[in-house]
Structure formats: structure tokens, C-alpha cells
């Protein structure tokens, strides 16, 4: 099989092989029923590791484009050759363009919560000030209020932008005035807007590995060549970022999912790298309001002297994910394009929600809520660490946030994915590090404290402990 694979970077090979195979299969160059080379042969031909080829094959098997027949090898399925030729045979069948490979995740609210709920990234809704919120929303929703009649600007309600600038400055040390803030539909839209205005197809985007899949896949969807960069105890390993990366996506306050902060030396090195190579840095500060240290490290955005950092904040963890409110703070050079992108893609956000949130901030109620929730999460975090202490796990130290990662110690007889599947049967909800990694990584687990009922933590960890026993 003649396969053209663009392998210009050391990392991101699995992705490159996947794309080349996907294209060969869906354009009919590899017809249904054809046997693919063994992973060993293809790896040798391409000069890559066998694991890279095997992972690409596994992905295509999972998507139904390849099938493995025991003892016989790996074959192209009819589903693969259906895709492109089917358009010609049956013009009525519409198919998405190549590249749509993201599998929609089930919504966390669609399934009953596990009794021991260590799912990642879910805040405790019972702490949310619903009565106050209802009152503020009602006030914003009256006839003649800001939501009445007209369209708003793409940057968001001026009151909201001013309140958010004060909040991000006061709580996180971000350097921003009202004009610097653009309201978004959560962090995810902020990433999308940044990708739209900065990336050309084929541009290299460096992401942390393990890292946030929603960011990684979004950049890939915009045509970027996504290059995973490893993370160590100091966070993103800056000297492994490719020089030609146009954009670097990072979670410096609380690395997602491992949890360590990016050290000050690495922060400086990252900014120096960005300045040297003309790259943009996207700083995703998704849950660091919940901190367990007095003086957090300054955000990259505040250390940036060259206008290279786009800071992304969200109220998905500090309030509720369902509000779908976030924001970005961008250098002035990008602002007009970002506003144009927001206006053309979805107009603007819900003004009455932004108005109510501005009041929540201005009246000091958001800060109060965050203080209260931080204390609850810090207690759960402490109980969780105490309960984990007896298990064959190595907890990754973190100073903030809603979850904890822990590596499996040597000698644990099962892999993390098997642990997660078995734990689920015992009504313990948690995640495997494998769900967030693309390359080789230490095996481990990720446990959230946001949704966990405090009294259910110890019994949940006892159940987990039984699954880790030799
Ligand atoms: C790394 C990271 N960024 C951002 C978010 C929040 O995204 P959004 O604001 O779109 O809800 C999450 C939530 O899980 C996250 O884990």
C-alpha cells in the first residue's frame, strides 16, 4: 500500500498516520476487503514506532473503517469505501467532510450520578446561590431591561465586561480593563474564536500531553497539525515545543488533567519561546479560583510583555457549566478579528445572563460563593488525599482546582482503564489518565472532588482500593 504520510515532526505521528489512512480508506484508494500491512511492516516502511501505527489502526477500527480478523490481519471495511464513492452512487446521502471524528460525549446530566462521584470537572451545584441568581435574572429580564428588543455587541454587555475585568484582576492577577474582555459561551468558544482568527490549515499547534481533548480536537478540526508535548513535574516541557508551533495551548495554573502548576521558570521560558518564534500562547485558566495556597503564581498573561498571550476564563467551575459563560482577554492586535469571529459565528451571548452575572460580581456575591465553595472543596481534597494515602498510588501534588491525579504504583496488577470500568460497576465514578493522553504516559487515575458528597469519599476510595489489590 502506497501511503503518503507527512511526518515532519517527531511527535504527532499517530495523528499523521491516522489522517493518511483515513484519507486512503474514505477516498477508495484502499478498497473494501483489502488487507492492510501489518503494524510492524508499516512502522518499518514509515520509520516510526509500531505503537504509533497500532494506535492509528485501533482508532480506525473503533470508527468502523478497519476490522481485525484474528490470525488474518487488518482489513478495510465496506463502511470505509462507502464514504466517498457513496456520494457519487447516491447523491442524496449527505456526509460530513473528512476530519469530523469527534464522538459526542454523553452529557454528565444524562446519566444518574454514581454514589461515589469522582467524575472530573463537575462543580457542586448544591453550593450555587440559586435564590440570588433567580432574583438577579428576574431583574435583568424585565421589559425595558437590557435583554429587551435589540441585539447586543459581540464583546458582551459593557457592564459584564467591566465586572469580569475587575474579577479577573482581583482574583487572578490578570491585567485587563473592560475593553480587553470578550464574553464567550464558555472556554470552548474562546478556544474556537482564537483558532478561527489565528490558524491556517496545516499550522502547528502544541498541546499538553496528557491534556484537554476538547482543545486538542478543536484545533485539529480547524485543520491544525496538533503536536502533543509532554508534561513533567514542572508542567509543560517547554523545550520540546516545536519551533514552528504557531500556537501553544496550556493550562498553567492547574495542568489538565495532572494538576501541577507550570513553574515560574517554565512560564518565563514559554513566553521567551513565544516571543522568539512568533507564537501565540493560549492560557486556559479553567478552575484555579479554587486554590489551596495563598499566593498562586502569576498568570502568563500578567507576565507577558509582548502581546503573545490570550487568557481564557470560564464560569463553568466557579458557578455552573450549564450557564455557558466564559470570557477571553486578548492582546489588542487580535481584538477586532475576535469580535468579527464572534459576531459571524453566533452573534453574541445571552445579555440577561451576562447582566445577572455582572450584578453577582459587583455585589461581591461571586467572590463569596467562590470562598465558600473553595472551603468545601479543600476539605474534600484533604479527605480524598488522606483516603488515597494507603493505596498503591502516587498522588500528583497540586495547589488548586477540582480534581486530583494519581499514578498507579508499580505492581498494581490492572491497568487504569480496567479499574475505571470495574469501579463504575461498584458505583464509583472516576477517570483514567489514558482518556486524556495521546502518547506514551504513566498510567493513572483522575478523581474529581467537585461533585463528590463529602461523606461518600472514604467508602468510595475503599471500594477503589479493593480493585487495586494484587
Ligand atoms: C481544561 C479545561 N478547560 C476548560 C474547561 C471548561 O470549558 P467550558 O468553559 O467550555 O465549560 C474544562 C472543563 O472541564 C477543562 O477541563
Q: Indicate which atom in ligand 1 lies nearest the CA of residue 315.
A: 9
**pLDDT tens track for 92-115:** 788 888 778 888 888 888 888 999
3-class secondary-structure state, position 247: strand
* Average pLDDT rounded to a whole number, residues 37-65: 87
Q: 86 near 95, Cβ under 8 Å?
A: yes
Expressed in angstroms and rounded, the spacing between residue 61 Cα and the centre of ligand 1 is 29
Residue 46: the pLDDT is: 85
Least confident of 18-22, 124-128, 379-383: 18-22
Domains and CATH numbers, the chain: 13-89 (1.10.10.10), 128-367 (3.40.640.10), 373-468 (3.90.1150.10)
Residue 217: the pLDDT is: 96
**pLDDT tens track for 177-236:** 999 999 999 999 999 999 999 999 999 999 999 999 999 999 999 999 999 999 999 999
Residue 191 CB less than 6 A away from ligand 1: no
The pTM assigned to this predicted structure is: 0.83
Residue 10 banded pLDDT, cuts 50, 70, 90: low
Expressed in angstroms and rounded, the spacing between residue 90 Cα and the centre of ligand 1 is 40
Residue 328 CB less than 6 A away from ligand 1: no
Rounded Cα distance between 341 and 221, Å, is 16
Residue with the three cell numbers 506514551: 440
3-class secondary-structure state, position 242: coil
Instruction: Compute the C-alpha angle 397/398/401, nearest 5°.
Output: 150
Q: Is the dihedral of CA 103, 61, 65, 226 positive or negative?
A: positive
Instruction: Provide the grid cell at 280.
Output: 501565540
Residue 44: the pLDDT is: 83
Q: 137 near 146, Cβ under 8 Å?
A: no
Residue 326 CB less than 6 A away from ligand 1: yes
Number of H helices, E strands in the chain: 15, 16
If you take atom 15 of ligand 1, which residue's CA is the nearest one? 286
**pLDDT tens track for 308-352:** 999 999 999 999 999 999 999 999 999 999 999 999 999 999 999
Q: 48 near 39, Cβ under 8 Å?
A: no
Asked if pLDDT for residue 390 goes beyond 60, the answer is yes
Report residue 432: phi and psi, to 5°: -95, 145
Expressed in angstroms and rounded, the spacing between residue 218 Cα and the centre of ligand 1 is 13
3-class secondary-structure state, position 253: coil
Q: Is the dihedral of CA 194, 200, 202, 206 positive or negative?
A: negative
Report residue 136: phi and psi, to 5°: -65, -40
HEC string for 126-143:
HHCCHHHHHHHHHHHCCC
* Average pLDDT rounded to a whole number, residues 369-375: 96
Q: Which of 286, 400, 450 to mutate to test the pocket of ligand 1 (most atoms within 8 A of CB)?
A: 286
Q: Is the dihedral of CA 137, 141, 144, 148 positive or negative?
A: positive
Residue 284 CB less than 6 A away from ligand 1: yes
Tell me the DSSP string of 261-325: PPPHHHHHHHHHHHHHHT-EEEEEESSTTSBSSSSPPPPHHHH-SSS-EEEEEESTTTT-GGG--
Rounded Cα distance between 208 and 224, Å, is 15
Residue 370: the pLDDT is: 96
If you take atom 7 of ligand 1, which residue's CA is the nearest one? 187
Asked if pLDDT for residue 149 goes beyond 80, the answer is no
Expressed in angstroms and rounded, the spacing between residue 51 Cα and the centre of ligand 1 is 30
Expressed in angstroms and rounded, the spacing between residue 245 Cα and the centre of ligand 1 is 23
Expressed in angstroms and rounded, the spacing between residue 188 Cα and the centre of ligand 1 is 7
Expressed in angstroms and rounded, the spacing between residue 214 Cα and the centre of ligand 1 is 8
3-class secondary-structure state, position 371: helix
If you take atom 6 of ligand 1, which residue's CA is the nearest one? 187
Q: 51 near 438, Cβ under 8 Å?
A: no
Element spanning 160, H or E: helix 158-172
Expressed in angstroms and rounded, the spacing between residue 314 Cα and the centre of ligand 1 is 7
Residue 321 CB less than 6 A away from ligand 1: yes
**pLDDT tens track for 287-303:** 999 998 878 889 999 99
Convert 396-424 to b/e letters by CB count within 10 Å (16 or more is b). bebbbbbbbbbbbeeebebebeebbeebe
Q: Indicate which atom in ligand 1 lies nearest the CA of residue 190.
A: 10
Amino acid at each position: 500500500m502506497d501511503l503518503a504520510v507527512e511526518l515532519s515532526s517527531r511527535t504527532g505521528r499517530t495523528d499523521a498516520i491516522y489522517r493518511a489512512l483515513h484519507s486512503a480508506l474514505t477516498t477508495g484508494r484502499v478498497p473494501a476487503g483489502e488487507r492492510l500491512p501489518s503494524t510492524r511492516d508499516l512502522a518499518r516502511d514509515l520509520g516510526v514506532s509500531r505503537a504509533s501505527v497500532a494506535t492509528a489502526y485501533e482508532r480506525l477500527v473503533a470508527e468502523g473503517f478497519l476490522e481485525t480478523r484474528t490470525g488474518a490481519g487488518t482489513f478495510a471495511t465496506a463502511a470505509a469505501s462507502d464514504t466517498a464513492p457513496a456520494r457519487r452512487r447516491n447523491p442524496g446521502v449527505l456526509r460530513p467532510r473528512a476530519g469530523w471524528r469527534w464522538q459526542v460525549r454523553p452529557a454528565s446530566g444524562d446519566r444518574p450520578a454514581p454514589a461515589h462521584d469522582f467524575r472530573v470537572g463537575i462543580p457542586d451545584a448544591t453550593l450555587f446561590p440559586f435564590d440570588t441568581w433567580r432574583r438577579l435574572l428576574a431583574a435583568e429580564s424585565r421589559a425595558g431591561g437590557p435583554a429587551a428588543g435589540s441585539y447586543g455587541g459581540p464583546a458582551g454587555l459593557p457592564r459584564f465586561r467591566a465586572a469580569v475585568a475587575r474579577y479577573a484582576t482581583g482574583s487572578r492577577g490578570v491585567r485587563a480593563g473592560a475593553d480587553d474582555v470578550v464574553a464567550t459561551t464558555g472556554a470552548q468558544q474562546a478556544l474556537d474564536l482564537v483558532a478561527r482568527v489565528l490558524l491556517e490549515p496545516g499550522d502547528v499547534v502544541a498541546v499538553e500531553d496528557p491534556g484537554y481533548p476538547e482543545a486538542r480536537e478543536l484545533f485539529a478540526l480547524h485543520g491544525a497539525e496538533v503536536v502533543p508535548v509532554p508534561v513533567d513535574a514542572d508542567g509543560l516541557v517547554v523545550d520540546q515545543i516545536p519551533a514552528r508551533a504557531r500556537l501553544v495551548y496550556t493550562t498553567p495554573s492547574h495542568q489538565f488533567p495532572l494538576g501541577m502548576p507550570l513553574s515560574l521558570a517554565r512560564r518565563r521560558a514559554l513566553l521567551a519561546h513565544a516571543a522568539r518564534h512568533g507564537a501565540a500562547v493560549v492560557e486556559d485558566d479553567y478552575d484555579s479560583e479554587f486554590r489551596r495556597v495563598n499566593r498562586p503564581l502569576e498568570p502568563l498573561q500578567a507576565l507577558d510583555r509582548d502581546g503573545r498571550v490570550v487568557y481564557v476564563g470560564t464560569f463553568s467551575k466557579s458557578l455552573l457549566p450549564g450557564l455557558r459563560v466564559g470570557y477571553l482577554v486578548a492582546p489588542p492586535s487580535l481584538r477586532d478579528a475576535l469580535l468579527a469571529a464572534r459576531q459571524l459565528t453566533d452573534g453574541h451571548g445571552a445579555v440577561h445572563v451576562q447582566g445577572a452575572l455582572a450584578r453577582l460580581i459587583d455585589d461581591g456575591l461571586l467572590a463569596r460563593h467562590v470562598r465558600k465553595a473553595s472551603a468545601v472543596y479543600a476539605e474534600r481534597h484533604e479527605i480524598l488525599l488522606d483516603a488515597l494515602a494507603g493505596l498503591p498510588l502516587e498522588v500528583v501534588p497540586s495547589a488548586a482546582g477540582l480534581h486530583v491525579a494519581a499514578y498507579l504504583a508499580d505492581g498494581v496488577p490492572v491497568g487504569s482503564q480496567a479499574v475505571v470500568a470495574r469501579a463504575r460497576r461498584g458505583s464509583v465514578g472516576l477517570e483514567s489518565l489514558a482518556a486524556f493522553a495521546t502518547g506514551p504516559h504513566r498510567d493513572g487515575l483522575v478523581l474529581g472532588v467537585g461533585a463528590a458528597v463529602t461523606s461518600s469519599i472514604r467508602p468510595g476510595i475503599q471500594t477503589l482500593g479493593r480493585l487495586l489489590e494484587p
